[in-house]
Amino acid sequence: MIKDNLPLQAYKTWFEPIVPVKLEQSVLTIQVPSHFFYEWLEEHYISLLRKVIKKELGTEGKLEYSIVMENNGSGKSNPYTVKLPATNKSSLKNKPVTMPIDVAEKQIRNPFIIPGLKKVNVDSNLNPAYSFENFIEGDCNRLARSAGYAVANKPGGTAFNPLLIYGGVGLGKTHLAHAIGIEIKNNNPNKTVLYVGSEKFAHQFIDALKNNTTNDFIHFYQMMDVLIIDDVQFFSGKERTQDVFFHIFNHLHQNGKQIILTSDKPPVEMQGMEQRLLSRFKWGLSADLQAPDLETRIAILEKKMYGNGIELPSEVVEYLAYSINTNIREMEGALTSLLAQASLNKKAITLDLAKSMIDKFVKNTAREVSIDYIQKVVCDYFDLPIELLKSKTRKREVVQARQIAMYFAKKMTKSSLANIGAHCGGKDHATVLHACRTVNNLSETDKQFKVYLEDLEKKLSIQ
Ligand code: ADP
Ligand code: MG
């Protein structure tokens, strides 16, 4: 029943790894690989799980999770499992403190709970969906991605230690950080890898202070082979947290362990961060993530759809990709709303539906057609490969299409002539001006040409 209700990829990722362990008095216990996994199921699939439990076990039916803490390297799972009753989002929210045993907390207080082991294999907190495979490469992320990949294949053994990934909201910092962790775990299952948000790190530290367990806290983090801390800008102004992190950082670094950090800004712009920490951030490599270009955005949307077993007309995907051009998370959000709306109203997703919805979605953000989009529309129209238009070729049909693209870029974007030229085969601003004049003249003398232009203008206008 679950399989029928989910896209195959989602089923494979989130349901195949589940192992049913026992069924006793209408309580089904399932074993899941990690705490993260449990949270994800609760967050995304609770209503489906409820339905299935009710159908199979009746109204008395209950679900319990058991989270495995794997025995390091031996391949056998250990007998210490943690029982978690099924909850739902709201009860999680209401009872954050009494939330069923948080594995990480437990490990912090008691880092050596499993007897006879040199190390505890911690729950890495990695989201399997945020893999390298699912991370689309583009000019916007090439350096950060390849540095991340290098680190993943030689953790602690490259000059990129720490690796600091920085960039604006929704540009893939968290995804890339997870991807590195996942790759390391795949290559070296015995390495202790931990992903932690800096907010969680700071809260754990405050708890440790309260409980007089700061030593345990520090030891726990110093045990890692790879430590990934997301959004370190959150440490700004928090002196004691920075202090404890400084010590952990030094210990790990001195022992050749890999540190991966993300931040919404480069070290030079991090206010309220101690100088000694900032200087350490600069020891390795800082690589930024930029907003992706149109082609990369389309590829990202296609990957997401494929992963979820969704298909959409390509014009809808392109429209989505060019309407929302700064924040990938927002673009994905728009895709999700679009799907939800279509399934609620039992409507097919047409370009018109997409337009009306997305216009609402991005009402408040100023939009402008991009040069990339203009080039794409023009090339589609004349059936030319976009690479030719961006190249220096002087083939007649390409020259004309290129001039038309330049003409619309000048008319519809705020880009400088130099920038337009750079996008169109590395022409200078005089060439762009000449192109605009040529197009204007032709549209006055050549009727067919004028029809082309009007057609294109219609295609390019957003509303
Ligand atoms: P950030 O941490 O920078 O705010 P996230 O890593 O949370 O951003 O990314 C936001 C969304 O965009 C995620 O769903 C992520 O999977 C997706 N995303 C970002 N960059 C890429 C990429 N290059 N390829 C595929 N998906 C991406
Ligand atoms: Mg993030």
Q: Which domain holds residue 235?
A: 139-289
Do 317 and 232 lie in a common domain?
A: no
Q: Would the pLDDT of 333 be above 70?
A: yes
Same domain, 236 and 147: yes
CATH of the domain at 334: 1.10.8.60
- Name the residue at shortest CA distance from atom 11 of ligand 1: 329
298 shares its domain with 242: no
Helices (H) and strands (E) in the chain, counts: 21, 9
Distance, in Å, from the CA atom of 261 to the CA atom of 146, rounded to the nearest integer, reads 15
Q: What is the pLDDT of residue 119?
A: 53
> Which of 264, 289, 314 is where one domain is finished?
289
Element (H, E) at 193: strand 193-197
The model's confidence at residue 368, banded by pLDDT at 50, 70 and 90, is low
Choose from 62-66, 169-173, 312-316 the range with maximum mean pLDDT: 169-173
Q: Which residue has the higher pLDDT, 36 or 192?
A: 192
Residue 262 lies in a domain: yes
Query: From the CB of 148, is ligand 1 less than 6 Å away?
Result: no
What is the tens place of the pLDDT at every residue in 94-118? Answer: 322 222 334 444 444 433 333 333 4
Residues 397-410 have pLDDT tens digits of: 899 999 999 999 99
Distance CA 3, CA 120 (A): 34
CATH of residue 61's domain is 3.30.300.180
Look up residue 408 and give its amino acid: F
Q: How far is the CA of 40 from the centre of ligand 2 (A)?
A: 16
Which of 109, 131, 151 is the endpoint of a domain?
109
Model pLDDT, residue 462: 56
Describe the strand order of the beta sheet including 77-85 as a list of residue ranges: 19-24, 27-32, 62-70, 77-85
Same domain, 244 and 308: no
CA distance 322 to 365: 13
**Closest approach atom of ligand 1 to CA 168:** 3
Instruction: Name the pTM for this structure.
Output: 0.62
> In this structure, is residue 28 part of a structural domain?
yes
Q: Which two tokens stand for residue 144?
A: 């950060």
CA 76 to ligand 2 center in whole angstroms: 34
> Tokens representing 42?
């609760």
Atom of ligand 1 nearest to the CA of 231: 2
Judge whether 165 and 144 are in contact, CB under 8 Å: yes
How far, in Å, is the centroid of ligand 2 from the Cα of 348? 33
Do 161 and 260 fall within a single domain? yes
Is pLDDT above 90 for 192? yes
423 or 33: whose pLDDT is higher? 423
Domain of residue 402, CATH code: 1.10.1750.10
CA 169 to ligand 1 centroid distance, Å:
9
Using CA atoms, how far residue 34 sits from 30, 189, 190, 325, in Å, is 12, 14, 16, 34
Residues 170 and 38 in one domain: no
The answer to whether residue 212 is domain-embedded is: yes
Q: What is the 3-state secondary structure (H, E, C) of 104-171?
A: HHHHHHCCCCCCCCCCCCCCCCCCCCCCCCCCCCCHHHHHHHHHHHHHHHCCCCCCCCCEEEEECCCC
Q: Decide: 162 and 177 in contact? Cβ < 8 Å.
A: no
| Separation of CA 168 and ligand 2 centre (Å) | 9
173 is in an annotated binding site: yes
Contact 30, 19 (CB under 8 A): yes
Distance from C-alpha of 343 to C-alpha of 339, rounded to nearest angstrom: 6
Residue 347 CA, ligand 1 centroid: distance in Å: 29
**Torsion over CA: 93, 94, 97, 98 (sign):** negative
Kindly state the average pLDDT of the residues 252-271.
95
CATH number of the domain bearing residue 253: 3.40.50.300
The closest alpha carbon to 289, from 117, 144, 128, belongs to 144
Question: What is the pLDDT confidence band of residue 74, given thresholds at 50, 70 and 90?
Answer: very low
- 460 dihedral zone (left: phi>0; alpha: psi -120 to 50; beta): alpha
- Please tell me the distance between residue 17's alpha carbon and the centre of ligand 1 in angstroms: 24
Check residue 27 and give its pLDDT.
Answer: 81
Q: 280 and 217 in one domain?
A: yes
Please check whether residue 152 lies inside any domain of the structure.
yes
280 is written with which tokens?
């350490």
Residue 209 has pLDDT above 80, yes or no: yes
- Was 13 annotated as part of a binding site? no
Q: How many domains does the chain have?
A: 4
Residues 155 and 257 in one domain: yes
pLDDT tens per residue across span 25-53? 888 888 776 666 676 677 677 778 888 88
Of residues 10, 237, 243, 249, the one with CA closest to residue 134: 10
Whether the CB-CB separation of 77 and 94 falls below 8 Å is answered with no
* Cβ of residue 66 lying under 6 Å from some atom of ligand 1: no
Q: Which of 52-61, 115-124, 177-186, 383-392 has the lowest mean pLDDT?
A: 115-124
- Take residue 41 and report the two structure tokens written for it: 């199921």
Ligand 1 atom 16 nearest Cα:
175
pLDDT of residue 346: 83
Q: What is the pLDDT of residue 69?
A: 47
Whether ligand 1 lies within 6 angstroms of the CB of 241 is answered as no
Q: Is 172 a known ligand-binding residue?
A: yes
Instruction: Clarify whether residues 50 and 103 are in a common domain.
Output: yes
So what's the pLDDT on residue 51?
Answer: 81
Ligand 1 atom closest to 262 (CA): 2
* Domain-embedded: residue 185: yes
Give the Cα separation of 230 and 57 in Å (integer): 41
Pocket mutation for ligand 1, best pick of 140, 175, 260 (most atoms within 8 Å of C-beta): 175
Examine residue 84 and state whether it is found in any structural domain, yes or no: yes
Tokens of 358: 């997305």
pLDDT in tens, 214-258: 999 999 999 999 999 999 999 999 999 999 999 999 999 999 999
> What is the mean predicted confidence (pLDDT) over 1-5?
79
Q: What is the mean pLDDT of residues 419-430?
A: 91
Nearest CA, atom 25, ligand 1: 135
Closest ligand, as measured to the CA of 229: 2
Do residues 97 and 165 share a domain? no
Domain assignment present for residue 418? The answer is: yes
Are 285 and 305 members of one domain? no
368 lies in some domain: no
pLDDT for position 341: 83
How does pLDDT run across 270-326, given as a tens digit for each residue?
999 999 999 999 999 999 999 999 999 999 999 999 888 888 899 999 989 988 877
Q: Is the CB of 328 under 6 A from ligand 1?
A: yes
Closest ligand 1 atom, residue 175 Cα: 6
Assess whether 236 and 143 both reside in one domain.
yes
The ligand with the least distance to the CA atom of 292 is 1
8 Å CB contact between 164 and 198:
no
Which of the listed residues 311, 336, 361 is the one where a domain comes to its end?
361
